[in-house]
Amino acid sequence: MDFFYEFASTYSYITAMRIAPLAQAAGVTVRWRPFLLGPIFKQQGWETSPFNLYPAKGRYMVRDCERQCAALGLAFRLPEPFPQNTLLAARVAAAVMAEGWGEDFSRAVYRAQFAEGRQIGSPDVIREIVRDLGRDDAVLAHAQSDAIKQKLRGATEEAQRLGIFGAPSFVAGDELFWGNDRLEQALAHAKN
Amino acid sequence: MDFFYEFASTYSYITAMRIAPLAQAAGVTVRWRPFLLGPIFKQQGWETSPFNLYPAKGRYMVRDCERQCAALGLAFRLPEPFPQNTLLAARVAAAVMAEGWGEDFSRAVYRAQFAEGRQIGSPDVIREIVRDLGRDDAVLAHAQSDAIKQKLRGATEEAQRLGIFGAPSFVAGDELFWGNDRLEQALAHAKN
């Protein structure tokens, strides 16, 4: 099953923190697919997060995430400003996914951003996250290479072709599922 | 607990068909609150349903509703055109809620619209629904009175004051819950 996630997405944070044990219990292999929602939102005429464009929805999202996280024993804190620029984080994730620590890196970025409210748009913060994972921060330069830029662009274009319009999204066979609330259903479908 | 619903809302249909036994099991009294999303969407700059404005989201919604309804043993069919004009249906619901058959009328409207794909924007269809419930269709004229118009307008304004931006929405104490997916959580909160 493919798990498409955007680092600025609060509900992707919740999924990222709970998907591994659920997938293991279901016997489903999950492919983590970082992508960017920005270009997809732009095509819909949105220049920022819908949670900023529609304030009532934004206020509700914060309260809903607080409740969902509390039930799961997760901290929740919105960084200032929201959304953060997630381009570098997504490129690093795309760069290291094949090296076997992409999931750990992604969870660490989410934790820094939405549990600790840190500025994950800052290269310094990303560098610190990489070092805290015991990895070489040369990956930050590698992440800015044309090959990695193209890899991330390709994932975003593929998401768009698949009809993805938000995050997290799950693709299992011919079925698309949207939202942390559909994680269990997506895994059940992928299992069959 | 207050259950705010808009007749054009597909996810409100799913909630309307399943809320009564769940509320009874939880020992929660539910107040059915028909309202209009149109004026709220207009304030956000939307002239029609977001499912029409954002086609990828609209296609996904149909598939998601098909899956959710199949799991619940409910039929699902989108009427043409979508959304239907729901003003008359909402006014009739507002008119008869105090008479004790507002819930039955609302479920019948949802069934006609989203199980049978009927034109609930048409007064003839609403009249037929009223008659099939064994009720006097004089209520259609009464529903167009200033008192009822004002009642429905008041419900919509109250929804907006409560921060409601979509349907179904549930209000229990100080907490707002949005979406059919939050029905169980809202009932659990209302129970406490």
- Per-residue pLDDT tens over the stretch B56-88: 999 999 999 999 999 999 999 999 999 999 999
Q: Which amino acid is at B139?
A: V
Confidence of residue B109 (pLDDT cuts 50, 70, 90): very high
Q: Which two tokens stand for residue B38?
A: 């149109």
Q: Which residues of A touch B164 (CB under 8 A)?
A: 56
Q: Which amino acid is at B125?
A: V
Q: Is B161 on the interface with A (CB under 8 A)?
A: no
- Nearest chain B CA: its distance from A54 CA (Å): 7
Q: Is B67 on the interface with A (CB under 8 A)?
A: yes
Confidence of residue A52 (pLDDT cuts 50, 70, 90): confident
- Nearest chain B CA: its distance from A23 CA (Å): 21
Work out how many domains chain A is built from and give that number. 1
pTM: 0.95
Q: Tokens 């004002």 appear where?
A: B150
* A61: nearest CA partner in chain B: B178
Question: Do B166 and B179 form a contact (C-beta atoms < 8 A)?
Answer: yes
Q: ipTM, 2 decimals?
A: 0.93
Q: Is B57 on the interface with A (CB under 8 A)?
A: yes
Question: Do A117 and A80 form a contact (C-beta atoms < 8 A)?
Answer: yes
A:B CB pairs within 8 Å: 38
The 3-class secondary structure across A38-64, one letter per residue, is HHHHHHCCCCCCHHHHCHHHHHHHHHH
Q: Which of B61, B178, B183 to mutate to test the interface with A (most CBs of A within 10 A)?
A: B178
Q: Which residues of B touch A63 (CB under 8 A)?
A: 175-176
Q: Which two tokens stand for residue B23?
A: 């509320």
Q: Which residues of B touch A175 (CB under 8 A)?
A: 63
Residues B44-60: b if buried by 16+ CB within 10 A, e if exposed? eebeebbbeebebbbeb
Q: What is the pLDDT of residues B116-143, one digit of tens each?
A: 999 999 999 999 999 999 999 999 999 9
Q: Which two tokens stand for residue A127?
A: 């560098």
With CB atoms and an 8 Å threshold, state whether A60 touches B163.
yes
Q: Is A164 on the interface with B (CB under 8 A)?
A: yes
Provide the 8-state DSSP code for A177: E
CATH for B105:
3.40.30.10
The 3-class secondary structure across chain B, one letter per residue, is CEEEECCCCHHHHHHHHHHHHHHHHHCCCCEEEECCCHHHHHHCCCCCCHHHHCHHHHHHHHHHHHHHHHHHCCCCCCCCCCCCCCHHHHHHHHHHHHHCCHHHHHHHHHHHHHHCCCCCCCHHHHHHHHHHCCCCCCHHHHHCCHHHHHHHHHHHHHHHHCCCCCCCEEEECCEEEECHHHHHHHHHHHHC
Using DSSP, state whether A146 is helix, strand or coil: helix
Confidence of residue B112 (pLDDT cuts 50, 70, 90): very high
CA A137/CA A135 separation, integer angstroms: 6
Q: What is the pLDDT, as a whole number, of residue A158?
A: 98
With CB atoms and an 8 Å threshold, state whether A185 touches B67.
yes
Full domain range(s) for residue A60: 2-191
- Is residue A33 scored above 90 in pLDDT? yes
With CB atoms and an 8 Å threshold, state whether A165 touches B56.
yes
- Is residue B3 scored above 90 in pLDDT? yes
- The candidate with the shortest Cα–Cα distance to B166, out of A87, A59, A10, is A59
